Amino acid sequence: MLVDDTTLLALLIFLAAALYSTVGHAGASGYIAAMAFVGVAAVEMKPTALTLNILVASIGTYRLWRAGLINPRALLPLIIFSIPMAFVGGAVQLPVSTYRIAVGVVLLFAGFRLLVDPREKAVAARGHGDVAIPLPAAIIAGAGIGLLSGLTGTGGGIFLSPLLLLLGWAGARQAAGMAAPFILLNSISGLAGNIVSLQALPAELPIYATAALAGALLGTQLAIRWLPVRLLQYLLGGVLLIAAVKLILT
């Protein structure tokens, strides 16, 4: 990879980490989009995204825990079933063409979610009370999202948050508090499911990790101060849609 490409990718990773962490996410779909733009080999995308996810989600989990936004009781049924399924998904090696299409679909979903921004509807329906997820629904959602997160190299937060919001199970703040630890645990499980993929990590990973950590520190600070992120969501959603089309069609 050229030095210019490395610098560009580090900048994109910093921006993705900052933007995603403002809403409790770790940024895997953003990192994948950035890597797709720069032309990173598909075999490097999954382990790189999961590694950066773990770093960023760790910061988010810590800060959201300190802010009292993480509900362990509501989180437990989700992670009990998502963690083993993320491990299974991480162990599955999809063909490159299939992987690109699968990740492209994930990015399409993420892009549309950010553009539509369903948070206001969900907050009106649920308000700002405690998280309340029916147990059968938590089992099904946790298992399904866990498997998908392992297969695609994302932590699953991009699916969990809109589900919580659209079904009125949580308000925006509570959804962010659920997403960060969910992403952290599923990313660890997904990476452990295919530990051999670490051999494909790029030599530039320390640069990208530094960029991601810096972005996470900025984004979580903005989240704590409640900086409006609607415009940033729209911009990021558009970028994800472009990256999704690029992945699917190439």
- pLDDT value at residue 124: 45
Which parts of the chain fold into alpha helices (H)? 3-21, 28-38, 42-66, 72-91, 96-116, 119-126, 135-152, 157-166, 172-193, 205-224, 230-249
- pLDDT value at residue 226: 62
Which domain range does residue 22 map to? 3-193+200-249
Tens digit of pLDDT at every position of the chain (250 positions) = 556 889 999 999 999 998 888 877 888 888 988 998 888 888 888 889 989 999 999 998 998 888 887 888 889 999 999 999 999 988 887 787 888 888 888 888 878 877 876 554 444 444 444 677 888 999 999 999 999 888 888 888 888 887 887 777 877 777 888 888 999 999 999 888 878 778 888 989 999 999 999 999 988 887 766 656 566 667 677 877 877 887 787 6
What's the CA gap between 113 and 226, in Å, rounded? 20
- pLDDT value at residue 177: 84
Which residues contact residue 67 at a Cβ distance below 8 angstroms, ignoring those fewer than 6 apart? Answer: 177, 224
CA distances from 166 to 106, 148, 159 (A): 18, 19, 11
Q: What is the dihedral of CA 57, 238, 33, 90, to 10 degrees?
A: 60
Number of domains in the chain: 1
For residue 134, give both structure tokens: 């029916």
Contact 156, 182 (CB under 8 A): yes
For residue 249, give both structure tokens: 């069609």
